[in-house]
Amino acid sequence: EAGVAQSPRYKIIEKRQSVAFWCNPISGHATLYWYQQILGQGPKLLIQFQNNGVVDDSQLPKDRFSAERLKGVDSTLKIQPAKLEDSAVYLCASSPGTLTGQETQYFGPGTRLLVL
Amino acid sequence: GDSVTQMEGPVTLSEEAFLTINCTYTATGYPSLFWYVQYPGEGLQLLLKATKADDKGSNKGFEATYRKETTSFHLEKGSVQVSDSAVYFCALNPTDSWGKFQFGAGTQVVVTP
């Protein structure tokens, strides 16, 4: 079974530029998550989708971050304009979406973003 | 709110030593508890989990027991290898807002030959 795929793996941009990350979850997984992991910290949830609807985006900085999952499969996370403090690893995860607290989340390899 | 606290690293051990990483949590109800491992340059991989009190999760020689009375989920391994060098994250999946995982800050483990 293929895992969660993310691209690109690395990205270097200058501040005020825009950037987009792509995620393809495990086949059949209804729930998709985007996390931000700053160096030396645990992942922080940015947004959670159930199929193509948003379940939680309370920690997404909506003035600069946006995310979509139009067909309930792939997802894109965008930052515009980027700030220096956005330098982090952006992790995508998916889970089956059984709406229980026992679900495991499966993570992709992440995209390392450096904002100069 | 829900939270996870785990011991700070780095934890440096010699090969074949005993490893313990402490993890305690604050949550309402009975969350599911997880340990994930992150190798350099990679995403998080599930190591083990426990979904109810007194459950023991185990995988690859690692074990952790869900202790409701002490709100703890400490990770242990009896004999570590150099290949166990990684960052370990304790996490909970809350019962009242499923999927909204709370992660600890991570504990780096370095195993030397």
User: Residue A110, Cα to own-chain centre: how many angstroms?
Assistant: 8
pLDDT given at position A14: 97
Answer whether B44 sits within 8 Å of A95, measured CB to CB.
Answer: no
Q: What share of chain A is helix, strand, coil (3-state, %, to 5)?
A: 5, 45, 50
Residues of A with CB under 8 A from a CB of B: 4, 6, 31, 33, 40-45, 48, 55-56, 91, 93, 95, 99-110
Mean pLDDT of chain A: 93
- B30-47 average pLDDT score: 92
pLDDT given at position A19: 98
Q: What is the pLDDT along chain A (116 residues), one digit of tens a residue?
A: 689 999 999 999 999 999 999 999 999 999 999 999 999 899 999 999 999 899 999 999 999 999 999 888 999 999 999 999 999 999 999 999 876 667 889 999 999 999 99
Contacts of B59 in chain A (CB under 8 A): none
Mean pLDDT of chain B: 93
pLDDT given at position B4: 95
pLDDT given at position B95: 78
Answer whether B89 sits within 8 Å of A42, measured CB to CB.
Answer: yes
pLDDT given at position B91: 95
Contacts of A49 in chain B (CB under 8 A): none
Answer whether A105 sits within 8 Å of B45, measured CB to CB.
Answer: no
Answer whether A109 sits within 8 Å of B43, measured CB to CB.
Answer: yes
pLDDT given at position B98: 73
pLDDT given at position A100: 67
pLDDT given at position A98: 75
Q: Choosing among B8, B101, B102, B108, which should be mutated to test the A contact, i.e. which has the most A CBs within 10 A? A: B101
pLDDT given at position A99: 67
pLDDT given at position A101: 62
Please write the tens of the pLDDT for every residue from B41-93.
Answer: 888 999 999 999 999 999 999 999 999 999 999 999 999 999 999 999 999 98
Could you tell me which chain B residue has the CA closest to the CA of A95? Answer: B99
d(CA A91, CA A6): 8
pLDDT given at position A93: 96
Best CA proximity match to A107, nearest among A55, A42, A17, A53 = A42
Best CA proximity match to B101, nearest among B27, B23, B39 = B27
User: Residue B6, Cα to own-chain centre: how many angstroms?
Assistant: 8
